[in-house]
Homo-oligomer: A and B are copies of this chain.
């Protein structure tokens, strides 16, 4: 049974890395002593080692060990033998490029299907969707494809931002960008505000955290759903 947490962000303002999620992660990863961390998204270009240390420090607070995927010789068997998987945020283009290069996407998808608990934050959440077409990241690397895990039947827009009232900037708002996505694509998009996450348990999908999420369906005006809403109607 699938067990996934798709979080908008790793860090909320004024709080430590993963801190706001730790109670949830304790339950989510209850069967795992060690978490396989995938640092490929390299926020700010930091090294895999440094990024893994950040993740390890956070998970230590709930008694879990963390090992980076780059510490294993065989990526595929590392994923197949993982007790839990965490894909951290950073740049989605870099993450997806590395996942393809290391042939890691299919093993991760299979692990999730086999019930291995998965946590994604930001870029690591983007890849849970059908495609990475709704990332906010700058395309600093060219991946072989925009297709991602597709473990949920829609796309994710993490760090969802409401339009800034009174802004004189002529660049597009997030809502405008997602509407533009729907000029060429038809799957729903969930705008996840920072502090929100989607909890997937088998076929059940629930919005968690304190905030509403904004749903963009093809050919429909966008609308809000409240926390604890069932999201399994989205297809």
Contact = CB atoms under 8 A, between A and B. Distances in A.
Contact of A91 (B159, B168, B180): B180
A137 B146 CA distance: 15
B44 A180 contact: yes
A181 B13 contact: no
Secondary structure at the A interface, as helix, strand, loop or mixed, is loop
Interface stretch (A171-179, A204-212, A224-232): A171-179
A13 B161 CA distance: 21
A118 to B, nearest CB: 21
B180 A171 contact: no
A184 interface: yes
B44 A179 contact: yes
Contact of A94 (B91, B145, B168, B184): B184
Interface stretch (A66-74, A106-114, A127-135): A127-135
